A and B are shown apart, each in its own frame.
Chain A
Amino acid sequence: MKELTYFKAAVEAISRALGDNDKIVVLGKGMTAGGKDGLFNEIFLKYGRSRVLDGTADDKSNIRIALGLAATGALPLVVVDGENLYSCIEAIAVDACCAQTAFNGQYSSSIVIWSDYGYADGDTPAEIFLSEGFFASLPNLTVYCPSCPEDACSMMATALRFPYNGPTLVLTDRSMRETSAKVTEEDAAPVRPQAGSQVIKEGGDVTLVSYGAMMQASMEAAYRASQAGCECELIDLRCLNPIDTAPVIASVKKTGKLAVAQAGWPRGGVGDILISAVMSSDAFDYMEKPVKIVSPPNKVIPYGDFAEKTVLPGWEEVYLAIISLI
């Protein structure tokens, strides 16, 4: 058992996967220089240039290099900077997602893409990425979104077993960089089943659904609501594509009320996808109140706003949303 930060927990899984499977290679900008924040220093020292590869300065090109590697038998993990994720969309949505169908399975397109995303203090409007809902909407893409170091480790370990015929995107929220936890052998061993929604706390009054960094605020809000006498059923989606809606639908049938807390943009986001799934299921008949979405405002976030802490919703906003449903 090790105390690891959110990002280092993912690196722990990568290090183990490289040891377990010699077909896995890691590719990205400046990887032989240790990668971002030196996260890959130890991996490079241990595995060297045959397994840890420098990509180009262009992340979308690195995704295509990974596809060229995958087509000839390698199992590539490509590490991307979240601030370049928008430029990677063509390579992910067309080259990576379509290949399995378009090539009719003649070449493998199984790659894992690891990117940070979201918003951290000091980000300029050009650096933030709050469109994870877009990746949640793409066919043939698997999207893992860990909400804690344990999941960062286990989801990366699962992704690096390359269980899908196609690309897997692991999105880690950059605002959680410093979050740390004890990661057990069980988290690190690639034995967990495919990520699905998980009920974190049971309750019968309100169904509260979240993922990624917003899970922290949601847990705090659920705790406070509980003290005020309102029991939330808190669900962590964990996998944004495909979204495992069954536990949410079952919960809404019990509570009749649904709130979604997300750090992504409100339009076309994960909340929209989830709510449309719930509303078109038989849970519709159980709904007692309109659904609440807690999200940042639908606007470009000015650089200076970070000082005001007014941008991303905190536990207070989630709490108010819960209370308004009672």
Chain B
Amino acid sequence: MNTNTSLQIFYKMMKARLLEEVAVKLKERGLIADELRLSFGQEAVAAAVCALSLNDVIFVPRRNISSLIAANVPSISILSELCGLKEGMCGGKGGLDCAAWSDTNVFGPMASPDSSLMRACGTALSFSLQGLPYCVLCIVGDSAAARGDLYTALNYAALNNLRIVFYVENNGYAGRSRTRDTINVSEISRRTNGFEIPGFTVDGNDTNAVYEAVDQAISFSRQNRKPALIEAMTYRLAGETYEEIQSYRSEEEVNMHAAIDPIEIHTKYMTEAGIGQISDFLSMREAIQEEIDAAVDNVLALIRERIGGGEE
């Protein structure tokens, strides 16, 4: 990972973290009707997205604010979509479940957590038919990995020599169920053995590990026309939805995992590598905060305009 990539990953992770903080405030003010699926603690997905090249395609998961920021979707487009405004990434028509952003080739999950797997195969098939070297990164949660379509997708992609990397964010929970209660292997990546394709499990909070694994998987897939799967072990600090009552786990458990912060880990890497000092990163954070505050002001102004002016 070079310096530029490191800084980019930091920027995206921090932006996702701060954006979710303001999304919570908007939700509490009643300005977001949809359920809020927060991804704080899972921001290291940015490192996976940064391993892609121009024209590659990203299928984002349901818990997708970190992935969308990583895929360069502007924060105002995400916030506006959450608030159902026509300035949103899908004109306020899809919400984040159906998020899409054609500027950077982003596709949303749609029907069910696993429905993107086969659509991603279709897109990879399209590139293959057109003779284009583009790769598809399909990010899903572990709940999708517990469903049947993963096997259909791995089998189909391997059989048809598709350039696609499946990135499974294993955050320990599928809705209210613990992943270990829904999936009968300790490492989901071992599922790939049955399809004779590479699969690796990495520490999903360690940006270096994520970047290296995905970078290699993408290169492998691009060169060999084969799919690969990376499982990233992380933890869902948020509830299934923001408002959910989490009767199924203890506060101690959550606090224990909250101590492992991917942004802190990444910051430590950067200071050790001499990319910058803590004070540099704090001022970067301030600049991002200002950017997000400006986006929020814009969204609030739009909402006021709609209510006050009665537009449309």
Task: Give the dominant DSSP class at A's interface.
Answer: helix
Asked if A45 CB lies within 8 Å of chain B CBs, one says no
Smallest CB separation, A56 vs chain B (Å) = 5
Interface residues of B in 112-139 (CB under 8 A from A): 112, 115, 117-127, 129-130
Q: Determine whether the beta carbon of B152 is less than 8 Å from that of A58.
A: yes
Q: Determine whether the beta carbon of A104 is less than 8 Å from that of B90.
A: yes
Q: Determine whether the beta carbon of B101 is less than 8 Å from that of A71.
A: no
Asked if A61 CB lies within 8 Å of chain B CBs, one says yes
Asked if A287 CB lies within 8 Å of chain B CBs, one says no
Q: How many residues of B contact A (CB 8 A)?
A: 35
Q: Determine whether the beta carbon of B118 is less than 8 Å from that of A72.
A: no
Chain B residues with CB under 8 A of A181: none
B-contact 0/1 string along A49-74, CB 8 Å cutoff: 01001111010010011111111111
The residue in chain B whose Cβ has the minimal distance to the Cβ of A92 is B111
Q: Determine whether the beta carbon of B123 is less than 8 Å from that of A91.
A: no
Smallest CB separation, B102 vs chain A (Å) = 4
Question: Can you list 25 pairs linking A and B with CB atoms under 8 Å apart?
Answer: A53-B129, A56-B152, A56-B155, A58-B152, A61-B118, A61-B152, A64-B115, A65-B122, A65-B156, A66-B122, A68-B119, A68-B122, A68-B125, A71-B122, A71-B123, A73-B130, A95-B111, A98-B98, A101-B94, A102-B98, A103-B108, A104-B91, A104-B93, A104-B100, A106-B101
Q: Determine whether the beta carbon of B121 is less than 8 Å from that of A68.
A: yes
Q: Determine whether the beta carbon of B118 is less than 8 Å from that of A94.
A: no
Chain A residues with CB under 8 A of B125: 53, 65, 68-69
Task: Give the dominant DSSP class at B's interface.
Answer: helix
Asked if B110 CB lies within 8 Å of chain A CBs, one says yes
Chain A residues with CB under 8 A of B160: 54
Chain A residues with CB under 8 A of B94: 101-104
* CA A103 to CA B100, docked complex, whole Å: 6
Chain A residues with CB under 8 A of B149: 61
Asked if B107 CB lies within 8 Å of chain A CBs, one says yes
Contact with A65, one of B110, B112, B121 (Cβ below 8 angstroms): B121
* CA A98 to CA B97, docked complex, whole Å: 12
Contact with B90, one of A61, A71, A106 (Cβ below 8 angstroms): A106
Chain B residues with CB under 8 A of A306: none
Given contacts A71-B119, A74-B129, A106 and B110 within 8 Å (CB-CB): no
Q: Determine whether the beta carbon of B102 is less than 8 Å from that of A50.
A: no
Chain B residues with CB under 8 A of A70: 122
Contact with B119, one of A50, A54, A67, A104 (Cβ below 8 angstroms): A67
Q: Determine whether the beta carbon of A91 is less than 8 Å from that of B100.
A: no
Chain B residues with CB under 8 A of A65: 118-119, 121-122, 125, 156
Report A's interface with B, CB cutoff 8 A.
Answer: 25, 50, 53-56, 58, 61, 64-74, 90-91, 94-95, 98-99, 101-104, 106-107
Chain A residues with CB under 8 A of B100: 102-104, 106-107
Q: Determine whether the beta carbon of B98 is less than 8 Å from that of A69.
A: no
A-contact 0/1 string along B157-200, CB 8 Å cutoff: 00010000000000000000000000000000000000000000
The residue in chain B whose Cβ has the minimal distance to the Cβ of A67 is B119
The residue in chain B whose Cβ has the minimal distance to the Cβ of A51 is B129
Contact with A90, one of B97, B107, B112, B119 (Cβ below 8 angstroms): B112
Contact with A102, one of B110, B112, B119 (Cβ below 8 angstroms): B110
* CA A72 to CA B118, docked complex, whole Å: 14
Chain B residues with CB under 8 A of A104: 90-91, 93-94, 100
Chain B residues with CB under 8 A of A72: 123, 126-127, 130
Chain A residues with CB under 8 A of B156: 55-56, 61, 65
Smallest CB separation, B64 vs chain A (Å) = 14
Smallest CB separation, A244 vs chain B (Å) = 28
Chain B residues with CB under 8 A of A106: 90, 100-102
* CA A191 to CA B107, docked complex, whole Å: 35
Chain B residues with CB under 8 A of A94: 110-112, 115
